[in-house]
Amino acid sequence: MLISGRGSNLKAILQAIEAGRLHARVEAVISSRHDAGGLQYAQRAAIDTLVLDGCDYPRREDYDHALQGLIERFKPDLVLLAGFMRILTAGFVRQFRGRLINIHPSLLPQLRGLRTHERAIEQALPMHGASVHFVTEELDSGPVFLQVRVPVLAEDDAASLAARVLQQEHRLYVQALQLLADGQLGWKDGQVLYQGQPLHEPLQINAG
């Protein structure tokens, strides 16, 4: 799992595993920052933690080559991005195609990139939310397979909307991973499959 910050999605995933709601195992957590709060959650769970600081690699290609080497040591079935604040090179993405998963705080393809909560309010969108998708070379453009919708309230500011979306992200990522772990959802020949059939629209979960 790749992180850069507080690691709240990592925490939610570890809690779901401990509670038996997610049948998976986190092999390692790699952070792009030494001060990422999420490293503490992994260390408490006796999970291998590593830090690969971007400041040590002026070229993105060199950073991603080193990152790829770290990941491959663990032979993971999936590589999860959870607040990993780096844009990955096309070569790295191709190496892990079909195994690289990201969660994004918007209803993709709406609001790709950063500042999604501020932009949702600026654009007076009635609905916001979060998406889980397979990562491809183009930023936030890989096939989306699971989403949750969160209404934008009249009294919302960016902080209140972000807090409500984040709460739903935790549920969404766990459910997405369980679908993958159960084999109900997967990737084959560039196509997302759900229960063995092509998935043409993202599955939706109800906001809890």
Q: Supply the residues annotated as catalytic.
A: 104
Task: Find how far residue 14's CA is from the centre of its chain.
Answer: 14
Supply 111's token pair: 């609001």
Cα–Cα dist 165/189, whole Å = 32
4 and 85 in contact (C-beta within 8 Å)?
A: yes
